[in-house]
A and B are shown apart, each in its own frame.
Chain A
C-alpha cells in the first residue's frame, strides 16, 4: 500500500448548496485519502455532509449542489475537470454506489438480474450470459437463498435485506475499485442488518475493493471500517484507524458521540401485584381483514413504569398499539384502563377515555400538521380537552413548552418545517402532554433521530415520567433504547409474545432463543464483535435465516 499514490485523493473539497437565491457552503474544505483495498467509515449526524462527501468522491453532486473548490482525484484522474465521457467510463465500471434504500433504488419494472447485467454489458466487461452466470455466483457468495433463481424475480418479490444484498452484488458486477455505501443498513431490522453487514464485509475483503462506508451508527462502522473519519457540519473533526479512534478519541465532539449509549436509568421495582395496572391488554387477537396479525397477546403496564415492546418489523408491535388506541378494534380480548374495560372502537370511547391514552409517533414530519403553527398544534388539545381559551390557553402552551425544554418566545409561532428533527419530536411530546394523559404510547420515537438528539429525547421522557407519574408503552427495535429507559420488556415475534419480564432479567441469560438472537444481533462498539459473533454462531445461524428456522 503506497501512501504516496492513494486510490482516492480529495483535497480542500468545498461544496455549496442552493437555498432560494444564495449558495450556502455545506462542506468546508475536507481532505480525504483512500488506498485501494481499504474501508473508510464516514460518520456524523444528519446534515454533517457525509453523504455529500461520499458522492463527491465519485465526482458527483446532488441537484442544487455544486463543488466550489478543491480537487477529487480517482486513481490520478481529476474527476471534477474530467469530461462527461471519461466520467461515464469510470462510474459503474470502476466506481459503484450502494444506496440506503434498495427498495427505492431498484427499478420495480425490471427483473433484478436485468438491472445487474446492465452495467457490465454496457461497459463491455462481460457478455450478457457471462454476466448472468457471474451474478449467480455473487448471489451465492452473498448467501442469498436460491442464487440461481432469485435474480429472475422482480424487486418487490424479494425481502428488504435480500434486496440490499442484491444491490451490493450489482455494485460488484464490474469488479469496481471503489464502492460507496450510503447507509446501506439503516432501514433494516437488527437481525437483517447483521446478515447484510456480514455479506458486505466478506465480499469487500474477497475482492480487495476499497470502500467508503457512510453511516451514523458508530457500532456498525466499528465493524466495517479500517479507518474512521468524523464529520460535523461540513468540517472534519478527526480521523484515525478504527481501534485508535474507539479506544482513544481526541476531540470533545467525538467523545460525546462515543458516550451516547451510556445513558441508562435504573429499573424501578416492580409494582405490587395488588396494584391495578393503568393499561392492561387481555388476550387480544386482531386481524387486518382476514389476515391475522395478533394472536392472544396479554401484558400489563403499571403506573409510572415503562414497558418496552421489541421485535422486528412485522412482529405486530405497532398493531398492538393500534388495538390499544382503538384504531384497530380487536376481534377478541379487551383493553382495560385502570381496571375498567375500554370500548374496542375509538369512536365509541368518551372524550375522557381518549384523553387518558396519547400517542407519540415515529415520524414527527407526518405527525405534525405542516400548515399549523406550534401554538395551534399544542393548543388544540388544551382547548379541546380542558376547555382553556385565550390567555389561559397561551399560558398553558407556554408552560408545556417549558416542560419540553423549548423557549416559548422563540418557537411558539413557528411552523414545523422551521424546526429540527429533535425539536419536532419534542413538539409531538408536548402535544401528547397537553391532554394531561396517564398513559403514552411511544412508537419508535427515537429511531428517526441522530443518536445525540435521541438521547436528549429519552432523558426528557424519563424526567417527565418521574414528575408526572406517566406510564409509557415504548415500541422500538433498538435494544440500546430499551436498555436505557425500560422497566420491563415484552418481546414479540409474528404476532405473539415470545417472552416478557423485568429488564434486568431480560438482559441476562437464559433467554428464549429468539430473544437471544435479537440481543446478539445488536452491534456493539467493539471492532471484533462481528468477527466474534460469526465465529460463535456460524455464518448460517445469524439474521433472518436463523429467525426463520425458529418459527
Chain B
C-alpha cells in the first residue's frame, strides 16, 4: 500500500513540477531573448518532459552511490569514459589535420565521434592482434577461472589482467583475437552480401519486367522464413557435408549468412534503383545506346552509394550478431579460434554469480560488452551518415 501511495505522490509531484518549472523559467530574467521566448511559448508537455528528465538524473545520481548496485555504477562509469573519449577525439580532430577534415569534425555529433573512434580501435586491434595480444589465442595456462582486475586479494592475477577462462586461456588475448576472427569474418560476409544483393537488386530495377518479378518473388519467399532458424537449418546440412573439416564449416557459414542477408540488401538496392532509373539522365544514357553494365555501375551505383553505405553499417551489425549467435550455439566459428559468441557461451554460467560476486559475473560480460560496444558504435556512425546524406540539419 505504501508503495502505491509513494508512486502516486511522485506522479503528482512530477505533474505539478512541470507547471512550476515553466513558471520559474518565465519568471527568471534570462539574458538572451531567445531563451525568454522559449520559456514563454513552452508547452506544458515539454516542461513535464524536462522535469521527468531532471528526476531521472536525480535518481541515477542517488543510485550511483548505493554500494550494492555495482553494474549500474560500472555502466555509468563506462558511459562517462566513452563520452570523454569521443569528446577528446573530436577535439583533436577539430584542431589537427586538413581544413576539410576539420570541418567534418566541427559538424560531428559526439556520438559519431565516439563511434568512429571505437571502430578505429577495433580495426587496429583486429589487424595487429599478434602485436597487441600478450599470449596466443589457444595458449593454455594452469591457473583456470582467474577473475578480472589483476588483484590477487580478489582472486585475480597480475599476469592475466582480464582473467582466464575455464581451460586456463588468457581472456584479454582471446578478446583481441576474437576481434580479428569475428569482425573479420563478419566484414567479409557483409561484403559478399552486398555484392550479391546490390547486383541483383539493380538488375531487377534496371530491367524490370519478368526479371524483376522472378527475383522479387524468390526474395519474398526467402524472407518469409525466420532468418536465424533458416540459417540453423542450412548450417545443419552444411555441417553434415563438411564432415570434420572445420575450415569448410566456416566457409559454408559465410556463404549461408551472405545469401540469406542479401535478400534484405536486394530489397533496398531495388527500391533505391527504381527511384534512379526514372531519372532523365538514365533515359539519356539509354538513348545514347549505353550497355546495361555501364548503366548499373556508372550511372546508378554512384547515386545509390549513400543509402547503401548506411545499410552496410547496419547490415554489418546484423551479420556480426548472427555469427555470434551461431557460434554461441556451437555451429559458427570453431574452437580453438577465439570468438566472442563462443566466449559468451563458454563462460555463461558465471552470470549466476552476479548477485554476490560481480567480478565473477563480469567474465562472460566482457565478450558480450565487446559485441554491444561495436554494434552501438557502428549504429552511431550510420545514424550520422544517414543524417548527413538525407540533408537534414538540426
Contacts and interface: CB of A to CB of B under 8 A. Distances in A.
Interface of A: 18, 20-21, 63-64, 83-85, 325-327, 346, 349, 351, 354, 358-359, 361, 363, 366-372, 380-381, 384-385, 431, 435
B220 interface: no
A529 to B, nearest CB: 35
Nearest to B42: A84
A368 B281 contact: yes
A351 B284 contact: no
Given A21-B107, A372-B302, A325 B287 contact: yes
A435 B285 CA distance: 12
A354 B283 CA distance: 13
B281 A366 contact: yes
A362 B299 CA distance: 20
Contacts of A367: 279-281, 284
Q: Is the interface of B mostly helix, strand, loop or mixed?
A: helix
Given A20-B107, A367-B284, A370-B303, 7 more contacts: A18-B393, A20-B103, A85-B41, A369-B279, A369-B281, A369-B299, A384-B290
Interface string B118-154: 0000000000000000000000000000000000000
A325 B288 CA distance: 10
B292 to A, nearest CB: 11
Contact of A354 (B41, B107, B288, B393): B288
Contacts of B286: 327, 346
A384 B284 CA distance: 13
A64 B393 contact: yes
Contacts of A327: 283, 286-287
A435 B37 CA distance: 60
B387 interface: no
Contacts of A21: 103, 106-107
Contact of A346 (B40, B287, B302): B287
Contacts of A346: 286-287, 289
Given A64-B393, A366-B280, A370-B303, A359 B41 contact: no
B185 to A, nearest CB: 32
Contacts of B302: 369, 371-372
Interface in B170-184: none
A458 to B, nearest CB: 20
A369 B282 CA distance: 8
A-B interface, 9 closest residue pairs, ranked by CB to CB distance from nearest: A371-B302, A84-B41, A367-B280, A361-B280, A369-B281, A366-B280, A354-B289, A366-B279, A83-B40
Interface string B340-366: 000000000000000000000000000
A359 B289 CA distance: 13
A107 to B, nearest CB: 22
19 contacts: A20-B103, A21-B107, A63-B393, A325-B287, A327-B286, A327-B287, A346-B287, A354-B287, A354-B288, A354-B289, A359-B287, A361-B284, A363-B280, A367-B279, A367-B281, A368-B281, A369-B281, A369-B302, A435-B288
Interface string B99-120: 0000100110000000000000
Nearest to B305: A371
B158 to A, nearest CB: 49
A431 B107 CA distance: 37
A63 B391 CA distance: 12
Contact of A359 (B40, B284, B303): B284
A372 B279 CA distance: 14
Contacts of B281: 366-369
A472 to B, nearest CB: 17
B256 to A, nearest CB: 34
B349 to A, nearest CB: 53
Nearest to B279: A366
Contact of A381 (B40, B41, B283, B288): B288
Contacts of A385: 288
B25 to A, nearest CB: 14
Contacts of B280: 361, 363, 366-367
Given A21-B106, A368-B281, A369-B303, A83 B37 contact: yes
B291 to A, nearest CB: 10
Nearest to A88: B41
Contacts of B279: 366-367, 369
A346 B285 CA distance: 12
Contacts of B305: 371
A366 B288 CA distance: 16
